[in-house]
Structure 1
Amino acid sequence: MSNSMIDALSPLASRMPRVVREHEVLRVAGGMPGDDPAAIANAAVGEILRWAQKRCGGQLPREAWQRESFDYLSGGRNSSCVRLQSGTSDLWAIRTDDPDKTVAERVWTTEVVVGLLPDQPAKFSARLLVSTPEDELQIEPHTPGFIQQVVQKCRLISGQKQLSVSPTVYETDADAEDLIDDLIDPSRQLPIFVVTLAESGQADHPTLDTAALSRAMLGIGHVALLHPAATWRLTDRFGKFKSVFGGAARVYLPGFSDDADPYIHRLVLANQLDTAEGAARATRWMQQLAAQESILRTKLGRDVLPFAAIRNANLKLRQQNLRNEDASASDQLAAANDRIDALEKQVASLGSEQDYYISEYEKERARAELSESQAQKSAYRIQQLTDLLKARGDDPDLDIAMPASWQELPAWCDEQLAGRLVLTPNAHRGARNPEFTDVETAAHCLLWLASKCRDQRINGGGGSINNVTIMDGIQNASCGADTYEFDWNGRRFSADWHIKNGGNTRDPTRCLRIYYCFDPQTQQIVVSDMPAHRRTGAT
């Protein structure tokens, strides 16, 4: 478009209203256990209504306190509530709008659902959304205040863990064991942010306000405060590359395990928290990560119920009741118009939500492409420097100490072979407590793969490594007919090579096999399985 055309249209563009988009900020989902679910649900509704009352700019109608459906309009601070009772199910849902006090045209929307189902604890879910014409939304996500009231008055459970307003403090070895159990719990749904103290006797981190952080992430993340004595047990269990200590902080995402990739569970070093500015950046990142994870790990319509779906179901039930009661045509028409109006609003909301998700997807894809490009450039530079060292007669791997046990092997790989060799989760599991006893031999083989074998593959010499002797009685060979496919990092690979010891033994205490392939994209050796012989059709 020519500059003259742009200049001609700019006055018109300035008069057009800015496009307002609705962004989902966070989701909270859980259960409220107790002997009397109805009483617990009623108490939770009361806390939510008292919170809404403070923000509505007036007085909620009488129907609100009778737990009935209502609509309250108050100059943008609007509230709508639906009570849907069908058979033995009872759903109470509210949607409130609250204009931002500092940013024009920014409106916060909160949706809450409290549900009763037969023979189940009371259900609770909430969504925080924001509508704004801003191109870039810069916020520090914080769960609404009523979450704290519900947690304190009604108890709220996420997965198997009860939510806590204050950070959970771990001081002793026994406390550390409890934390370890929480970290590796497969049913865990929320990230755990572990903040460590550098010195004994400290009550809190010198720069991170863990109490404020815990309140901000209540319902979307757990905050743990770890004393020095307890950090040793964490390091002993997971190794230093998966642990956290000395005043640092780390997030452990759901799905963490003994064989987890340590780089997925981000570590914030102690020197990054030395200043107030560094602590503020870390706090902002933690809150943003917890909010993003709450959206990624919950499913709308299953874990968290949207208000529009409940309102439409209620209007549909009302239409059916009017038809069954043979109500007047005008009453049925009014009900139909109400439902049409609600469906139109839902379609508009879904369109805005879809635009938001597409925008977030594009951002994540761009970040992923940039990260992958940077990783490849770093790998290329590391290879250049390694080649220079070797050209000068130095061997970077000469003084590497071998791991003394299988428990040390994963951390040893992360430290000594990072960027050159990676163990898949299946290989991690196989090496956790194998029957093959010689861990040092296995480590020497992995080091050979990360150095000589990788160098050959980078230089295009795949065939020249067939039947190569690595050490006495151990060879590298093609898998041949035993080649198999496996998935890693979202892609499909073929494990077409393996390291094996001689003697044709099947005794698992003496039989070593390391199945692997070379990934030309990341220029890494990918170990699919070890150290046992895989069961095949031939065996």
Structure 2
Amino acid sequence: MHLSTHLAARALTDRVGAERSAWQGAVRLYWPKFQVDANPYEHKYWTPNRLLEDDEALIDELRRWLGSVSAASVPENPALGWMRAARRKALAESGDIPDWVQEYIETTDAELRGLREERDDLKEDLAAALTDVAAMREQYALVSQYSTKPAAEDGQSAAPSDADVSALTVAEAYEHAKAEIGDDLIFLPSADVSIKKFSEYKDPGKLHKALLDVANAGRRWGDGTLGKPFGEFFTDLGYGYSAKNPAVRDRRHKRHYEVKYKDNLVVMEPHLKVDESTGPDQCLRIYWYLDEIDKVIVIGHVGRHLPD
């Protein structure tokens, strides 16, 4: 993110509060008459993950939202209203309109005004309903990703058991691992994208454990307590590991190993070989970049074997 963009985003957050702002690639739709004390769910919010899942979702939903809310709001062309009023005035002045017709016209006009007022009320109700639906979907997605864990005796949330994780989908196991790992690893958006293409992997529990093991290695490397090379550490845990990969220097395949980190392209060379199944969606690899300055492992890909 450019500095000016970052400062502008920070200023917006300071002004409206984190709940009503948008950050880390998110998008929020602010309706007219937005106030800093507004209910945040009244102003639609697209999370970075939702945008990564489908880059057309934002445009499609904006069309549906704005179209449904504005379709009934188009006012009558002023020229048509003027022509209708002029014709009515001319007829009234000519004396050719019977009383019962004049009464009918006045009654119809009153009903039309009532219908327009009702339309405006329904338009507001529609906007509120669409906002409520979006809010409930966001909350449901959050609950689905982070299902409630049983409380441990010390009051902290207990990690899910192996059996619990094995019953999850690949995406859910991945999100559970990220939640448990916290700041011990950095997960790039490219990793979130790669896991969505790996939904048929046969062992979510193994994926979950592998990520926790990488986080453990990264934490120990960061604080200087690893005590051995990465290769030896992972071999002791039963994994294969490669610190170097010739494919990253092959011009045909290099682009698959490049990811954006801190506004720079970096190369993922170290990777964990979690298993050696032959199916393309069963051969799990975790690729990362080593940030030697901040001493942290930066995960860029979790999924199938990258081309080499």
TM range, smaller chain: 0.3 to 0.5
RCO higher in structure (CA 8 A, sep ≥6): 2
Bigger share in helix: 2
User: What TM-score, normalized by structure 1, do the two folds share?
Assistant: 0.28
Q: Which has the higher strand share?
A: 1
